[in-house]
Chain A
Amino acid sequence: MCLRNSAFLMLVALALPAQMPEIPLDARTAFRVVVPGDSPVTLVNGDWGSSKATARGGALQVDVRGVLQLKNSGTRRVRGVTLFVIAQEVTPGGKASVTVPSLDVEPGETFPIRVDLRLMRPLVAVPGAIVEVSIDGVLFDDLGFYGPNRINSRRAMTAWELEARRDRKYFLAVLDRSGPESLRREMVSTLARLSDQPRIEMQTARLGRMTNQPVGSERQMEFAFLQLPEAPVDLVSGFVRVAGSEARMPRIEVRNLSPRTIRSLEVGWLLKDDQGKQYYAGEMPAEIHLAAGEKSELVKDAVLRFSKPIAGLSAFVSNVEFADGSLWVPQRAAVLPVSPEEQRLADLYRRKGLDAVQTELRRLR
């Protein structure tokens, strides 16, 4: 078997420079963009210009470089769009999404969304479209929503929009109260926080039917909870099984402190490495029916592997959706991760300076 493998690899390696088999892609059939007839966002143009497929040994690599020009064909301002990307034919089970929050697109205006992805699979011809892109959701300035919401983009985009409004309001208050220099300090501070948040490498998978028994050297690690003012949910207790840099099956007990019924919530978690450095690790969303005062346990059937050893974990309530569809997001706090809007404004400051940030804040007031 080993000799066979070696021979195959040598054949592949020898064949590559001679052939470099780049397979032409016909953008009309290789990519499909699905926009329903009643969509308030329509496709103006799909540019798949530099996309290509290349045979790499026994595998086919498809590099998709697409820019979709979309138009707000409705009557309301668009605040966010989520595209659902599916490559089921090429990568069984492969689905993804690309979201652009913090938009401000007037009716009739066009805007681009970039879709850059790579597919890899054994070299076998695939009929039909390689990649299909469709609209999962459009969020408007009145928090109205359009779309099939297959991947729950409504809640995610609404939470980001509420955070964006919260952060702009805060920065405007800083500007009005303390002047441009204070706003500059805020922007520099955000850039520093982003720099302190390195690109942490991680892997995650569902555990499926794995038993609840401890595996190897794993131990139980308790969560520390961040208390956020006015949170409608109390994180009562929680733990996760940890082995080195891997954590599995986090469990958190929650209690509804509000008088309203909760239908979903997200718990964010922060990871501390053995150097004491803290990283934003992720969110644990849960569809849950939790009446006023009730308790429940959130369990995530997944294992996470980080590139750093786990020395500690803390958790916080990231957002709560009530039965009436309204959403709660926490107030600004230094311990919370940088929001998408904060990141956008800090990047605007870095590229175009403080005046551009002031103009943007006043425009979106």
Chain B
Amino acid sequence: MSLRHPSSQQLALYAGRDLNWFDLLRVRLHLGRCYECRSRVDYHEAAIEGVQAGALDLPEGVDWPRLAAEMKANIHLGLEMSEIAGRVPRRRFDPSGESLGWRVALVGASLAVVIGSGWYLHRARDPYFLAQRPMAQATSEGIEFKAKSSALTLLAPASERVTTAEIGEGLQTRYVDQDSGQVTIQHVFTE
């Protein structure tokens, strides 16, 4: 098990499917073993979904012409900066060159490896497509019912001895409340 967790940025980029293929595979491997990071990714995905849901509406009072003018100015600034930086000498692309064939083959093979690995890892991690179902999961914070981008988590104190078990339709945790000395049993249901 990988003990090193991906950074928050990497998890956020993973949620947006914006990681490069190497990091994507590395994070996906880690997520297969780390429930905590998977929960974080879920929260990022919920955030994306929420923002996307509200993205069709412009915020109230937005000064659209001014925003457009600023964006245009930024684009011009970027172009001018690249002019100042000077032209980078480039090798001409010759589509009729002899070396094109093996390059295309190499790119194709690499893509096939990436796609194949991604498919295999996805299958290996989630053969029952748990992530797509309403489910209950035990995390370091407690037990959670999760459906799409919503979640209900019953929190258990981190410092206590907590036992978790799958009972009936859901999960159950048990701990002794240190204030009252009472055994407390929590249950989340998957339906």
Contact = CB atoms under 8 A, between A and B. Distances in A.
B150 A94 contact: yes
A290 B80 CA distance: 83
Contact of B182 (A103, A116, A152, A243): A103
Sorted nearest first, the 7 A-B pairs with minimum C-beta distance are A58-B50, A57-B47, A5-B16, A282-B166, A94-B152, A205-B135, A58-B51
Interface of A: 1-6, 8-9, 11-13, 56-59, 85, 87, 90-103, 111-114, 116-124, 151-152, 160, 194-195, 197, 199-208, 210, 215-218, 243-244, 246, 248, 280-285, 302-305, 307, 337-338, 340-341, 343-344, 347-348, 351
9 contacts: A6-B18, A58-B48, A58-B53, A120-B152, A203-B135, A204-B190, A206-B190, A343-B163, A347-B181
B147 interface: yes
A131 to B, nearest CB: 9
Interface stretch (B68-76, B82-90, B103-111, B168-176): B168-176
Q: Which of B15, B47, B156, B188 has the most chain A CB atoms inside 10 A of its CB?
A: B47
Contact of A2 (B18, B50, B177): B18
A98 B185 contact: yes
Contacts of A117: 142, 152-155
Nearest to B171: A204
Given A94-B147, A116-B155, A199-B163, A283 B50 contact: no
Given A59-B43, A93-B145, A122-B53, A199 B162 contact: yes
Nearest to A94: B152
B70 to A, nearest CB: 15
Given A93-B147, A112-B180, A344-B183, A9 B15 contact: yes
B21 interface: no
B44 A9 contact: yes
Contacts of A118: 141, 151-153, 155
B145 A91 contact: yes
B20 to A, nearest CB: 11
A207 B169 CA distance: 11
B182 A100 contact: yes
B2 interface: no
Contacts of B18: 2-3, 5-6
A340 B161 CA distance: 12
A57 B180 CA distance: 36
Contacts of A119: 150-153
Contacts of B65: none
B158 to A, nearest CB: 10
B147 A8 contact: no
Nearest to B35: A201
Contacts of A102: 182-183
Given A201-B35, A282-B167, A216 B162 contact: no
A343 B178 CA distance: 13
A345 to B, nearest CB: 10
Given A6-B18, A96-B145, A120 B150 contact: yes
Given A5-B48, A59-B47, A195 B183 contact: no
